[in-house]
Amino acid sequence: MGESLIVTSTREVSTTRVRKSFIRRSHQLHVRRRDILRMQGVKPLLAGQALGQIGDAATSLVAAQMLLFTNNQESMKSSLLFSIGMMLPVMVLVGPLAGIVVDKFNRRHVLVSGHAFRGVLSLSLMCCLHASLSELALVCLALMLATTRILYSARTASVVHFVRRHELPAIDSMSFILGMGSGLIGGGVAAVLIDGNWYLALAFAAVLQVAASQMFKSIDMSIFLLREVRRASSRADLLGDLLGSKIKFAIGSTASLRLFLGVTVASVALHVGSQLSLQAVGFALLLALISLGNFMGSLTAEWFVERFRRRSIAVLASLSSAFFIVMGQVAGSPGVQLASVALCAFAFQNLRICTDSSVQANTPVEVLGRVFAAYDVMYNVAYAVGIVAGVALFGVIHTSAVLSIICAGHVSLAFLLVRGTETVAITSVGAPIQQPLGS
């Protein structure tokens, strides 16, 4: 690795059950983002992610415009159900497979070959659209969605090779911020090109995917091998990792809030859409507001993680979501109601980054892909169930009654969480790690 890498020793871990503490008694070492960027391999890791996601966004916009959303008068209900119909099969079928692939093969190889394959798929999609082969174009789109899931799992499982445990929330939040910015850039470029020359947009996306592949290829292979201490892992071992207290807490709290968020999004979207006669434009506005909430949550998550315990963040996210929903209902204004959805997304994103880093930090590296995939599938399926439930209840039960039930659910969840105790490490794990270059 060279003289810039310092390896620390491994120490034993002991845990204990302690009395509830809302705020951390002693702050963890403050993590500066520029120090994260000085870690060896982090810059090409994030650059590869950015290039790939810009290409993803450009391809997705062209595919959506050419294949899916050709009818601008599509109802809000149809748009919600269609988006879930596209997401759920990929999540349920490919999610577990992605975890297996990430654990079985070297993660750098997965990233390099996966982005190269995405580039080939972008060119294949261009050929299919040019030849008006809609069925084959949809097959290309499905393969793209599946590959994107595998690449997401590979990136998520790879960050533990680059940073220390307490730095995981910082790099996770940086990754989310970068992803949203990349999506905005890719979508903007495609929007400019799509009316004039959509071929150029797909060619641009293919070039970026190949560039991302080369960026990941430039990362020193030894970084990915540094922490890998392979052990035989049976199904019982994997189940034991999933049933660990911190993983169960991460899955339970995140899936619960994600379920409530799905019902809230569907209920508010349909209610406001019926009031203002919003169609596809209203659905795009809703997605933009949710993305804004996610972006703001990514900015603040690191601050919360440094000052509050995981359980405390879950309680704050649940109670604040209930408050935002009540605020929107009391105000009665469609604009405020939509803003309340964005604020609920903000609260959830803070919890999500906290629990993402908790799963990464408390799972053995050789099974991290499968454990994280299970966690990811569960809370996204919960969101899909919430969306479907919100759509099904609309028109059957008044929206204010549905949102009142969701508020009661948030408060009940917070009450259950605040009564729990916290499992904390008395001596932290000291796996071989990198120190910042030049430190």
Cα radius of gyration (the chain): 22
Alpha-carbon gap, residue 394 to 387, rounded angstroms: 11
238 class by beta-carbon count within 10 Å (0-12 exposed, 13-18 middle, 19+ buried): middle
Query: Cβ distance 417 to 253 under 8 Å?
Result: yes
How far is the C-alpha of 272 from the C-alpha of 74, rounded, in Å? 15
Instruction: Render each residue's pLDDT in the chain as its tens digit; 439 residues.
Output: 444 443 343 334 444 444 455 666 555 566 777 788 888 888 999 999 999 999 999 998 888 777 765 555 556 677 677 777 777 888 888 888 999 999 888 899 999 999 999 999 999 999 998 888 888 988 888 899 899 999 999 999 888 888 888 888 889 999 999 999 998 898 888 888 877 788 899 999 999 999 999 999 998 877 776 444 445 456 776 777 777 788 888 999 999 999 999 999 999 988 887 777 665 556 667 778 888 999 999 999 988 888 888 889 999 999 999 999 999 988 888 888 889 999 999 999 999 999 999 999 888 888 888 999 999 999 899 999 999 999 999 888 998 999 999 999 999 999 988 876 444 433 333 344 444 444 3
DSSP notation for 119-167: HHHHHHHHHHHHTT-HHHHHHHHHHHHHHHHHHHHHHHHHGGGTS-GGG
- How confident is the model at residue 187, as a pLDDT? 86
What is the model's pLDDT at position 17? Answer: 46
- Give the chain's end-to-end CA distance (angstroms, integer): 15
What was the pLDDT predicted at 133?
Answer: 86
- Report the C-alpha gap between 189 and 57 in whole angstroms: 9
Residue 201 CA to its chain's centroid (Å): 25
**Does residue 305 contact residue 313 with C-beta atoms inside 8 Å?**
yes
Q: What per-residue confidence (pLDDT) applies to 435?
A: 42
Q: Go through the domains of the chain in sequence order and give each one's CATH number.
A: 41-225 (1.20.1250.20), 235-425 (1.20.1250.20)
CA-nearest of 119, 130, 135, 142 to 56 is: 119
pLDDT of 423 reads: 44
The two tokens of residue 41 are 């391999």
Residues linked to residue 250 through DSSP beta bridges, in sequence order: none
- CA neighbor of 264 nearest in space, from 411, 100, 410: 410
Report strand pairing: 422-425 vs 15-18.
antiparallel
pLDDT attached to residue 333 = 84
| Residue partners of 294: CB distance under 8 A and separation at least 6 | 176, 180, 345, 346, 349
pLDDT for position 24: 63
Q: Around 392, how many Cα atoms within 13 Å sit in the side-chain half-sphere?
A: 7
Distance CA 258, CA 376 (A): 11
What whole-number distance in Å separates Cα of residue 387 and Cα of residue 228?
A: 39
pTM, two decimal places: 0.81
